[in-house]
Amino acid sequence: MDEAPETIKKNKEIAEKFARIEAELPLFSEPRELFEKLLMRLHEEFAVPFVWLSIVNRPDVSSLVQALRASGILADRLNFIDEAPFLELASQGETPVLANKDLHPFYKLFPKNKKFFIKSIAVAPITLDGQIIGSINYGDAANKRYEPGMDTNLLQHLTGAVSTCLTRLLKANPSDT
């Protein structure tokens, strides 16, 4: 009978977790630090078993790619993918894609030599100056964790804030673009 108040409470807790992470974004001073700490915080706050980053192979982000590749922390959490197959998976523009069926195409987003046992995935596109350059990916063994039709507003808002932070950092450190 108290389902509605319980749902409201749970949604408030989720929103607070997103807000805590977003509040930390201005503290980062360079892109590598942003993604190293962000992926760990997402894993901790939301108990997501698998959180990793996909970056599109494009010349305009080559310095960012080099900076991210230099990270030991990101080594097993980083995937580089050609733009065409990526955009097929991130088919909703900047809106996160949620899937829990027919996941095989999403395996292209997995880090090289890394296999995750997942039954659901969220792909949240990140942008640089309005252009999609990759995604933050969330995978879970629970097939109900990420289902098409779920509200992605909080996830999309956080990813937008991450994109804004990344753009700011790259403009402050042009050698990282």
The pLDDT tens digits of the residues spanning 85-99 come to 999 999 888 999 999
18-45 per-position pLDDT tens digit: 999 999 999 999 999 999 999 999 999 9
Residue 2 has pLDDT above 60, yes or no: no
Q: Which CATH code for domain 3-176? A: 3.30.450.40
> Which residue from 74, 92, 99 is spatially nearest to 149, judged by alpha carbons?
99
Q: Which amino acid is it at 114?
A: K
Residue 125: CB atoms within 10 Å: 25
Report whether 95 contacts 156 (CB < 8 A).
yes
Secondary structure of residue 126 in the 3-state scheme = strand
- Closest by alpha carbon to 129, among 91, 86, 174, 89? 174
Structural domain boundaries in the chain: 3-176
What is this structure's pTM? 0.92
